[in-house]
């Protein structure tokens, strides 16, 4: 099996690559990434890309057909990856997350790939109230990021057929340690606050619902999806990916951090405008279809892992929301340094080339 993983040098990718190498030791694993966050390494002895056979550096907006040659499956992670970045780069979010995703799927199908796995999001439900949302619930995306995921799902459904299985994993909010840690995620943010200042600052009143999933459990789900066939969920499948036990209100997540890291206090912003991004999610279908790939991490284990990981890093930056562990700050710094242009393309000083003949690194 030959598997292409786009966006493999982000927060989720290292766990996916490690998982695939362990489960499919004879597979050819190819990474394809723009390398914005290549240097954002945390607590690692070796590059996560060591587990790949090939690492390609290129812009998914300009990917060429030869990259897909002989590929059996694609795991598509590459994206403008959260709401703050989506707000800053709204047009680019649609170009990267939507247009490029559909183009990539079309190219993969034309090349003879049999499986396409798309990292979607539970944020497609938007303002959803208290009732847990199923896959047939109305979609109500509120942000550019969420809207891009909905648009992509709709177009991908038209491409699926008996020879091309498409799986859209509507992930809960990611959390947990990674070889390229991000702190712009709710649980990771709370643990960072507890470690650096002994205080969790909640930017809302704490009432919104957020389902969570450990980043390594996301990798387990993608392992299942890449080998799923049409007999298990249909030619096209959009499935909520997580578990019911991990539906929490934001204030409950903070309370869980306090229980693991004593001495932590919480500051609520009671005057904040209501956060409409609130959704509980039903994960019964995922449990039915993938019983052997259900999440195995608990919230308490994840908090402990983050706590110990940050301590091991000697992390003490109480102003971490302005640090390079926030993905928007990385892009901002690269642009301010003249390395990226307004379209988030590498400037001539650091060329981004998509031709495998010139950029392949055999690891």
Q: Is pLDDT at 333 greater than 90 in this prediction? A: yes
List strands edge to edge, sheet with 54-57. 236-241, 165-171, 115-121, 73-76, 2-6, 28-33, 54-57, 361-362
Q: Distance between alpha carbon 340 and the CA centroid of its chain, in Å?
A: 22
Rounded to whole angstroms, the Cα distance separating 194 from 267 reads 11
pLDDT digits (tens, 9 = 90+) for 6-54: 999 999 999 999 999 999 999 999 999 999 999 999 999 999 999 999 9
Tokens for 26? 């004879």
The per-residue pLDDT for range 225-237, each reduced to its tens digit, is 999 999 999 999 9
**Beta carbons within 8 Å of 316's beta carbon, 6+ residues apart:** 195, 196
Q: Tell me: the pLDDT tens digits for 148-168?
A: 999 999 999 999 999 999 999
Taking each helix axis from N to C end, the angle separating 250-260 and 299-312, rounded to the nearest 10 degrees, works out to 60
Backbone angles phi, psi at 255, to 5 degrees: -65, -35
DSSP-assigned beta bridge partners for residue 33:
57
Enter the tokens of residue 312.
């091991």
- 284 DSSP 8-state letter: H
Q: According to the model, what pLDDT value does residue 274 have?
A: 67
The pLDDT > 70 percentage for the chain reads 94
pTM exceeding 0.85: yes
The closest alpha carbon to 204, from 269, 249, 252, 127, belongs to: 269
Spatial separation of the C-alpha atoms in residues 34 and 353, rounded to whole Å: 9
Would you mind telling me the total number of residues written for the chain in this entry?
A: 363
179-227 pLDDT, tens digit each: 999 999 999 999 999 999 999 999 888 888 999 999 999 999 999 999 9
Are residues 267 and 204 in contact, defined by beta-carbon separation less than 8 angstroms? no
């Amino acid at each position: 099996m030959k598997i292409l993983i786009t966006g493999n040098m982000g927060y989720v990718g290292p766990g996916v690559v490690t998982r695939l190498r362990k489960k499919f030791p004879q597979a050819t694993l190819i990474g394809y990434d723009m390398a914005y966050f290549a240097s954002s390494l945390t607590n690692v002895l070796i590059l996560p890309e060591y587990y790949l056979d090939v690492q390609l550096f290129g812009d998914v907006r300009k990917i060429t057909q030869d990259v897909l040659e002989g590929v059996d499956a694609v795991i598509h992670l590459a994206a403008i990856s959260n709401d703050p970045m989506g707000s800053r780069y709204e047009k680019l979010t649609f170009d990267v997350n939507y247009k490029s995703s559909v183009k990539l799927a079309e190219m993969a199908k034309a090349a003879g790939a049999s499986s396409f796995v798309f990292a979607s999001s539970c944020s497609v439900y938007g303002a959803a109230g208290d009732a847990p949302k199923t896959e047939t619930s109305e979609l109500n995306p509120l942000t550019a990021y969420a809207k891009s995921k909905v648009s992509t799902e709709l177009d991908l459904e038209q491409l699926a057929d008996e020879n091309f299985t498409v799986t859209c994993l509507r992930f809960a909010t990611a959390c947990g340690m990674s070889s390229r840690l991000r702190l712009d995620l709710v649980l990771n943010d709370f643990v960072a606050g507890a470690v650096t200042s002994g205080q969790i600052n909640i930017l809302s009143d704490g009432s919104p619902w957020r389902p969570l999933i450990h980043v390594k459990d996301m990798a387990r789900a993608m392992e299942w999806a890449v080998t799923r066939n049409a007999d298990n969920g249909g030619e096209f499948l959009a499935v909520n990916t997580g578990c019911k036990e991990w539906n929490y209100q934001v204030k409950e997540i903070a309370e869980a951090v306090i229980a693991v890291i004593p001495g932590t206090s919480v500051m609520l912003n009671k005057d904040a405008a209501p956060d409409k991004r609130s959704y509980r999610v039903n994960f019964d279908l995922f449990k039915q279809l993938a019983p052997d790939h259900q999440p195995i991490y608990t919230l308490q284990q994840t908090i402990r892992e983050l706590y110990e990981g940050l301590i091991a890093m000697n992390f003490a930056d109480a102003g971490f929301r302005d640090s390079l562990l926030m993905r928007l700050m990385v892009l901002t710094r690269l642009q301010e340094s003249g390395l990226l242009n307004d379209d988030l393309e590498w400037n001539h000083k650091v060329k981004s080339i998509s031709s495998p003949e010139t950029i392949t690194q055999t690891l």
